[in-house]
Amino acid sequence: MFTHQGNAKNLSHDKQIASLLSFVAGLVNVAGFLSVQRLTTNVTGHFAFFIGEVYQFHFANSFIYFFYILCFFLGSFVSSLLVEIMIQKNERFVFVIPTITESFILFSVGLFGTALVENKPNLIAFSLLFAMGLQNSLVTRISDARIRTTHLTGLFTDLGIELSQLFFYRAQEQHDKLVITIWLRLRIIAYFFTGGIAGGVFYVYLELHVLLIPATMLIVSLLYDSIKVKLISWKLQHDTAEK
């Protein structure tokens, strides 16, 4: 799913990447909040708190909220930067490095985060916001901006628009395309919700070690993609040789 883009992409790939990354985001969202009581998958709330602290002249606190926003932004920037660099080298695996980077962050927080919860909770929030900014940019590039997975505000907005359009789009082709898009958005919501439930349930037993689950899922997905690409390449070579 990470090795397809552009003309090679289809609905099946969109479903796969949407399911995986929305589940990851839902789990990180709940695990981050339960551990440090911070939003770790989007910055909308942080911006409101930032403005509130500035208004009250609490500049030290406002800086923290500003840095939350900055970390998400930097994650998005670094992800896109890595994608552009990889395009120049090997376009087939253009999304591998950002995904490995996200996995590394989740593994690190999962392994060492528990020791930081008491004294350095902001470091955990900074790390997870960076990882989710990276993921949001990554999935936007993979899906040509069709999919967002780290937060649901825009998703519900788009879903509301598209459901209303069902009453007016009468042409069969337009109607079918709209239905497909609606089901894709509902799929993202469902997997985000499922990831959140899983994060809440397993956090009770694993605490921040629960982040090892999405980190492992990302690595396994990359390995699956790599094996699939090699098998397809081998099959093409074999078929060519037989001809």
3-state DSSP of the chain: CCCCCHHHCCHHHHHHHHHHHHHHHHHHHHHHHHHHCCCCCCCHHHHHHHHHHHHCCCHHHHHHHHHHHHHHHHHHHHHHHHHHHHHHHCHHHCCHHHHHHHHHHHHHHHHHHHHCCCCCHHHHHHHHHHHHHHHHHHHHHHCCCCCCCCCCHHHHHHHHHHHHHCCCCCCHHHHHHHHHHHHHHHHHHHHHHHHHHHHHHHHHHHHHHHHHHHHHHHHHHHHHHHHHHHHHHHHHHHHHHHC
Number of domains in the chain: 1
- For residue 149, tell me if it sits in a domain: yes
- For residue 159, tell me if it sits in a domain: yes
- For residue 194, tell me if it sits in a domain: yes
> What's the confidence (pLDDT) of residue 232?
74
**Residue found by looking up tokens 């069709």 in the block:** 146
**Residue found by looking up tokens 């499922």 in the block:** 194
Cβ partners under 8 Å of residue 147, min gap 6: 14, 17, 18, 21, 139, 140, 184, 188
- For residue 1, tell me if it sits in a domain: no
Q: What is the pLDDT along the chain (243 residues), one digit of tens a residue?
A: 665 554 445 677 788 888 999 999 999 999 999 999 998 998 988 999 999 999 998 999 999 999 999 999 999 999 999 988 888 887 777 788 999 999 999 999 999 999 999 999 999 999 999 999 999 999 888 877 778 787 788 889 989 999 998 888 778 888 888 999 999 999 999 999 999 999 999 999 999 999 999 999 999 999 988 887 778 777 777 666 666
Domain of 56 in residue numbering reads as 6-242
Cβ partners under 8 Å of residue 55, min gap 6: none
> What's the confidence (pLDDT) of residue 239?
66
CA–CA dist 61, 122 (Å, integer): 11
> What's the confidence (pLDDT) of residue 177?
87
As given in the structure block, the two tokens for residue 110 are: 């999962």
CA–CA dist 49, 43 (Å, integer): 10
As given in the structure block, the two tokens for residue 12 are: 């099946």
- 181 within 8 A of 162, measured Cβ to Cβ: yes
CA–CA dist 178, 172 (Å, integer): 10
Q: How many CB atoms lie within 10 A of CB 231?
A: 10
> What's the confidence (pLDDT) of residue 236?
73
